[in-house]
Chain A
């Protein structure tokens, strides 16, 4: 779930910006030159202190904070403090307790039993029990949440043997089930408010009631969202922070200024444009981390419509792969953020296998493949013409489009760039009305949840985004993804996934471009933040602010 459009980026002259920023930097650097003296108090500060308000950015402004109904990226970051899931995940994607204290999986892989924490209450004071979990997973999410619907539809039954125990019985083994309880994948919602109502039209959606460590105090549309401490939080003494304020700042340059001037202490996802990262990274009061995105593990690619000739020929797709330099894309367009991918599974996700065919940049190989297809250069050196429609999700994607035009041009593939906006893009991609576009999808902690959907033929569904919109179909790939999804022996699962990665890397249904990393900037005063696989979207129950 979760995409952030980086808002409107005004065509700001970067050269000048750097010059102005250099002056600014000098001003900032002049202050904290006494680091030697502050070392001792810093050590003493490692004991958490209560109090303080963390300021961050929310961009673009979400339509609602009811996480069950909306899983847009910014909604998750804010509502992740209000709502909770049964589990959260560490940065190796192993499950950790959230609302569930412990859990067991039966040896046949069919029964998952969760024990809940005691004394948990909703923000309106009503107790949180197993009944809420059953309602959330079997009714609420099944009705409104596309990802959760696909997962919980696999359940034979969802029951509550007692107030603190929930039992999920599956129709067939699905080991990825345990990866499906993160807060945005399966947020727990209060049964006493939603039971029997029209979920989307419930007036309570405007005043979200969760179990999390923070409650919504005020949301001034277009300005800010203010969260305050939930005094009745079930973990004694937590949270440390008095509150968290998220400011709506639509302009990318202004967002960087806000971080630079200390008006916000945290930015996430696409708040800061990649070209700003090297400059902000150098500021002494900020820490940069690219961790905390393991659960989403975004992978971007050139999405190729196999219904258009000659894009249906794998030699042509391989020629594209050889014609582009993905290291260049990472270093010069994403300013070093990200990793060069080898195949369909992001290397931070389980069952990743690097032993596959890889494509080093080599224009000659590209030309040879095109020759083999009979695509000879005409008088102008053009062998084929394709249309590329870059994603309208910020300046960086536009730059990528311009690079692709240059790079493919060198191999004799002429590129026409098409431009569109988010709504137009969604419409055209979902309805297969494109030749090549750029896209990125999240992998959600397991190939069965976030990877298979792009390549299996069952998922060729016109009018629906994030399906197999290319129209790629290979029965062997379908079979391998299907057997891996229900295989409970990890070794056999690995074998299936390794084989499918080899096949896909050879057939190149899409051309993978980048395992994307997002920059999280945190002021050095912010402690304990960004420790799990969902990073900034986690509850922040134990995040605290050191004294200035």
Chain B
């Protein structure tokens, strides 16, 4: 148990160093793009004069030298302050906190659904390899993987909301309905179905293909033959021997994808008008809303680092040899 704590602590220290590097790099990255928020706002206004742009730059602190802006920014981050979006006239943390739940509920649900369904389908395909069931799963997975995600979204929306009228086409909740408690949860869940299915289909396809390939590889190994020779049941062999060994690459990929939960749903959020953080990031890029963009980058980086640590820990639990070898 001590080894585990040590591992965790050393990873945290490394993570902190990486995070600082990321903050600084991101800062220069967003300032490298041409144009600035004052210019964008002047463009949107359709009329401008020198004073207008000057006032905005002064208010946004853009008239200060870049290194000074960086120092201010890093100083604030160190105090846990993500800064202030002058465009929206609100603290960045408030803006993110407002958008994060919508994104997380969407991506986490889709992620878990995709993982469960993908592993199940991949396993099924592997144990029925060569039969019609295997072919069907492979074809569906290939299609889901290859079709553009926004196109699936629009088609599902056309079918289920416009043609059949079963589900809402977009949005997070029914506006002005004033639901509370369970009724509110049911309302959000209803709005959640189409975007979750769209997003999950894409990820699921990857997991299914990966699980199938990995299972087929493990199935041919000696210890599986030994298990068979011992007379273990088919289901026991599949779950305890084959799947447990075959699942490692799936965990690797899932770990990487989990890190992208915050930023990886821009297209879905756009098609379904989902008020999440992916869209916020996209708009912040176009509007050069530096502070918001940096805030999202930071949150995303933290997520990636956390999920990497989590993945490492999970490896050790699933396959104790990995920890022993460390």
- Chain A interfacial positions (CB closer than 8 Å to B): 1-3, 5, 8, 10, 12-13, 20, 23-24, 27, 53, 60-61, 63-64, 70-73, 144, 146-147, 149-150, 200-201, 205-206, 220-224, 226, 243, 245, 247-251, 253-254, 257-258, 260-261, 263, 420-428, 430, 441-442, 461, 463-467
The 8 A CB mask of B252-281 against A (1 = contact, 0 = none) is 000000000000000101111101100110
Taking A10-B150, A250-B270 as given, write out 20 further A-B residue pairs in contact, using a Cβ cutoff of 8 Å, ordered by the A residue number. A3-B46, A23-B163, A24-B158, A24-B163, A72-B44, A72-B45, A200-B59, A201-B59, A206-B90, A221-B88, A222-B276, A223-B273, A226-B175, A247-B273, A249-B170, A423-B34, A423-B37, A423-B40, A430-B42, A466-B47
One of B49, B158, B272 near A150 (C-beta < 8 A): B49
Which chain A residues lie closer than 8 Å to B208 at the CB level?
none
One of A63, A201, A425 near B43 (C-beta < 8 A): A425
CA distance A20 to B175 in the complex (A): 28
B44→A3 contact, CB < 8 A: yes
A466→B89 contact, CB < 8 A: no
CA distance A45 to B59 in the complex (A): 52
CA distance A8 to B155 in the complex (A): 18
Nearest residue, chain B, Cβ from A392? B286
Within 8 A of A (CB), among B140-157: 150-151, 154-155, 157
Which chain B residues lie closer than 8 Å to A423 at the CB level?
33-37, 39-40, 43, 286-288
> Does B11 have its Cβ within 8 Å of any Cβ on chain A?
no
Give min CB distance, A459 to chain B, whole Å: 10
> Does B171 have its Cβ within 8 Å of any Cβ on chain A?
yes
> Does B48 have its Cβ within 8 Å of any Cβ on chain A?
yes
> Does B241 have its Cβ within 8 Å of any Cβ on chain A?
no
CA distance A1 to B43 in the complex (A): 9
A10→B271 contact, CB < 8 A: yes
28 A-B pairs in the complex with CB atoms less than 8 angstroms apart: A2-B46, A3-B44, A3-B46, A8-B270, A10-B150, A10-B267, A61-B283, A63-B287, A70-B45, A147-B47, A150-B49, A221-B88, A223-B172, A226-B175, A245-B176, A247-B175, A250-B270, A250-B273, A250-B279, A253-B271, A261-B161, A261-B169, A424-B35, A426-B35, A426-B39, A426-B40, A427-B35, A465-B42
A220→B275 contact, CB < 8 A: yes
One of A70, A424, A442 near B33 (C-beta < 8 A): A424
Number of interface residues of B (CB under 8 A): 62
> Does B95 have its Cβ within 8 Å of any Cβ on chain A?
yes
Give min CB distance, A25 to chain B, whole Å: 11
CA distance A240 to B95 in the complex (A): 34
A254→B273 contact, CB < 8 A: yes
- A254/B45 contact (C-beta < 8 A), A24-B163, A260-B162, A420-B34 known: no
Nearest residue, chain A, Cβ from B172? A223
One of A71, A222, A464 near B280 (C-beta < 8 A): A222
A466→B280 contact, CB < 8 A: no
- A254/B43 contact (C-beta < 8 A), A423-B287, A461-B50, A464-B50 known: no
A223→B275 contact, CB < 8 A: yes
CA distance A32 to B84 in the complex (A): 52
B154→A426 contact, CB < 8 A: no
Nearest residue, chain B, Cβ from A55? B175
- A428/B59 contact (C-beta < 8 A), A10-B267, A466-B47 known: no
The 8 A CB mask of B165-177 against A (1 = contact, 0 = none) is 0000111110110
> Does B14 have its Cβ within 8 Å of any Cβ on chain A?
no
- A1/B270 contact (C-beta < 8 A), A205-B89, A423-B286 known: no
> Does B53 have its Cβ within 8 Å of any Cβ on chain A?
yes
- A422/B47 contact (C-beta < 8 A), A247-B273, A427-B35 known: no
Which chain B residues lie closer than 8 Å to A27 at the CB level?
162-163
Nearest residue, chain B, Cβ from A261? B162
Which chain A residues lie closer than 8 Å to B155 at the CB level?
20
Binding site secondary structure of chain B: helix
Q: Report, nearest first, the 7 A-B pairs whose CB atoms are least far apart.
A: A423-B35, A222-B275, A427-B35, A426-B43, A424-B34, A223-B275, A72-B44
A442→B162 contact, CB < 8 A: no
Which chain A residues lie closer than 8 Å to B52 at the CB level?
144, 146
B176→A254 contact, CB < 8 A: no
CA distance A205 to B90 in the complex (A): 11
CA distance A428 to B163 in the complex (A): 46
CA distance A147 to B275 in the complex (A): 33
CA distance A257 to B167 in the complex (A): 14
CA distance A488 to B46 in the complex (A): 28
A441→B286 contact, CB < 8 A: no
Nearest residue, chain B, Cβ from A205? B89
Which chain A residues lie closer than 8 Å to B269 at the CB level?
250
- A146/B158 contact (C-beta < 8 A), A250-B273, A251-B271, A423-B288 known: no
Which chain A residues lie closer than 8 Å to B286 at the CB level?
5, 421-423
One of B39, B47, B276, B280 near A430 (C-beta < 8 A): B39
Nearest residue, chain B, Cβ from A147? B47
CA distance A150 to B88 in the complex (A): 26
> Does B326 have its Cβ within 8 Å of any Cβ on chain A?
no
Give min CB distance, B251 to chain A, whole Å: 32
A222→B99 contact, CB < 8 A: yes
CA distance A249 to B95 in the complex (A): 18
Which chain B residues lie closer than 8 Å to A1 at the CB level?
45-47
> Does B69 have its Cβ within 8 Å of any Cβ on chain A?
no
Give min CB distance, A256 to chain B, whole Å: 10
CA distance A221 to B285 in the complex (A): 17
A10→B270 contact, CB < 8 A: yes
Which chain B residues lie closer than 8 Å to A257 at the CB level?
154, 157-158, 161-162, 169
CA distance A2 to B53 in the complex (A): 16
One of B41, B95, B170 near A254 (C-beta < 8 A): B170
B98→A428 contact, CB < 8 A: no
Nearest residue, chain B, Cβ from A462? B50
CA distance A517 to B35 in the complex (A): 29
Nearest residue, chain A, Cβ from B266? A8
> Does B67 have its Cβ within 8 Å of any Cβ on chain A?
no
> Does B135 have its Cβ within 8 Å of any Cβ on chain A?
no
CA distance A263 to B276 in the complex (A): 21
CA distance A426 to B48 in the complex (A): 11
One of B88, B102, B275 near A63 (C-beta < 8 A): B88
Nearest residue, chain A, Cβ from B58? A200
Which chain A residues lie closer than 8 Å to B48 at the CB level?
146, 464-467
> Does B72 have its Cβ within 8 Å of any Cβ on chain A?
no
> Does B239 have its Cβ within 8 Å of any Cβ on chain A?
no
Which chain B residues lie closer than 8 Å to A463 at the CB level?
50, 53
Give min CB distance, A511 to chain B, whole Å: 21
B33→A146 contact, CB < 8 A: no
Give min CB distance, B100 to chain A, whole Å: 12
Nearest residue, chain B, Cβ from A260? B162
Nearest residue, chain B, Cβ from A63? B87
Nearest residue, chain A, Cβ from B165? A261
CA distance A155 to B48 in the complex (A): 20
One of A146, A224, A467 near B45 (C-beta < 8 A): A146
B154→A221 contact, CB < 8 A: no
Give min CB distance, B170 to chain A, whole Å: 6
Which chain A residues lie closer than 8 Å to B270 at the CB level?
8, 10, 250-251, 254
B40→A254 contact, CB < 8 A: no
Nearest residue, chain B, Cβ from A296? B46
- A254/B44 contact (C-beta < 8 A), A64-B88, A423-B286, A427-B34 known: no
Which chain B residues lie closer than 8 Å to A3 at the CB level?
43-46
Which chain B residues lie closer than 8 Å to A147 at the CB level?
47
The 8 A CB mask of B235-246 against A (1 = contact, 0 = none) is 000000000000
CA distance A511 to B270 in the complex (A): 36
CA distance A200 to B52 in the complex (A): 12
A146→B49 contact, CB < 8 A: yes
Give min CB distance, B68 to chain A, whole Å: 21
Which chain A residues lie closer than 8 Å to B271 at the CB level?
10, 251, 253-254
